[in-house]
Structure 1
Amino acid sequence: EGPLWGWSDSRVIGLFATSLIGGILFVWWEWRHPQPMLQLRMFRRLAFSLNLLAALILFLGISFNLLLTPLFFQLVYQFDLQRTGLMLMALPIALSLTSPIGGRLSDRFGPRVLTIVGLLVTGCALLGLSTTTPVTPPLQMLSFLILLGIGVGLFQSPNNSTVLGDAPPEALGVASGLLAVVRTIGQTGGIALAGAIWVSQIFALNGGPVTPLTAAPPPILAGGYDVAMRVAALLAAITIVPSLIGGYALQRQIAPARPPVAD
């Protein structure tokens, strides 16, 4: 409701404050409870924590595509539901074909290299989608969706491997569950963020609110989409930092100890 209420509205500020206080109380309670739902000491492991954070940030960015690209096809390109669905199949097909390859390449070259390559490809694909206009050929958009699926596929398997590889052996089930939770939180939070940015930009380009939103002219809808996808590309670029540091930390842990140097 931020674009409609205004971001300085007391209700918006109050909800942000409530979520912050709730998060602090959750951490405090889990830390002091003798049998916590989530063992916070796991997060002292650098590779585990940072690569979980990388997954969270990336899924925030990917959610922009999940929400806005179908709307772009239907509202800007004026595609029907069947053609929209066929276009959207490109991403999951590319993802499903690339993920096993990413896992095998990760075993050969190490997870750090593959995660960074995957993030770079993902960022380029999102940036490419941000250049789409009402007159852009649909095949160009389709190619960027395929590229996005390849990038996520190259990232996901090595990143999961890094998280599980640095988790305590007795907590592998919890670590696997955390990966699923992070993915869900990233997707739901990303959809809310993407919608807020898209709507705010449409209102700004239109000079005021549009009711219903779908009544906005295609160039304005496309302008809101472009800005939102640039934010998604920025999130993919930010993800490189925790992924790089986390992969380096894991590599140092598993590196064989150097033999002592003789006098």
Structure 2
Amino acid sequence: MIAMAHSCGVDLRLDDFKRLAASTPFISDLKPSGKYVMEDLHAVGGTPGVLKYMLEEGYLHGDCMTVTGKTMAENLADLPGLTPGQSVIGTFSQPVKPTGHIAILEGNLAPEGAVGKITGKEGTRFCGPARCFDAEEDMMAAVQADHASFKGSVIVIRYEGPKGGPGMKEMLNPTSVVMGAGLGQDVALITDGRFSGGSHGFCVGHVAPEAQVGGPIGLVRDGDMITIDADDLTITVDVSDSEMQARRE
């Protein structure tokens, strides 16, 4: 979205996402982190029903023009709202979570920011030794060979960013392997790649700068202690600046 905004001359920054996440309630009780599936949402009004509810509560600009040639409010005017009494979508007064589940993290491991998809069900803080891999395939093979050795660790998958990948493919396969091995509550996963909407667990992606352009994630070694704190919005590695510089040289 930042790239799209830049091409249109719109000033959109990571801080904007941080601000919006802090002021937007999380109201959808949907998998992978929630109880219901998309079919359940469809049955109670679907996305149009959610949009109509958001518009009524002042969370959307009704005068925004859409591809139909009509405004958002005009598109929703004659559509039914959410089914009364449904529980798939919470209310803004009683949300699933008072803030958004997208956490913008910063620290010496991600000086230009990282994006955590953290609902809170997996906790809000994780600290553990790094297990580093320079490709997702290497990580998946290692977990499948000895998944028990990964418990308590922070899995680092790097060189999967826009330039390193190249192309920044999504990390759905690694998170699926983690969940399949029963490690969903026992590991964290960080990457300079990206995650799909179906990924779940303690995941942090878009770590920037990416390893391919010299980002700190490329300097992390096995055993370095990494801390991810969604409350403080930080992601750090317990390695001094001087040691990181020595590794770079």
TM normalised by structure 2 equals 0.28
Larger relative contact order (C-alpha < 8 A, sep ≥ 6)?
1
TM normalised by structure 1 equals 0.27
* Structure that is richer in strand per residue: 2
* Structure that is richer in helix per residue: 1
Rg (Cα) greater in structure: 1
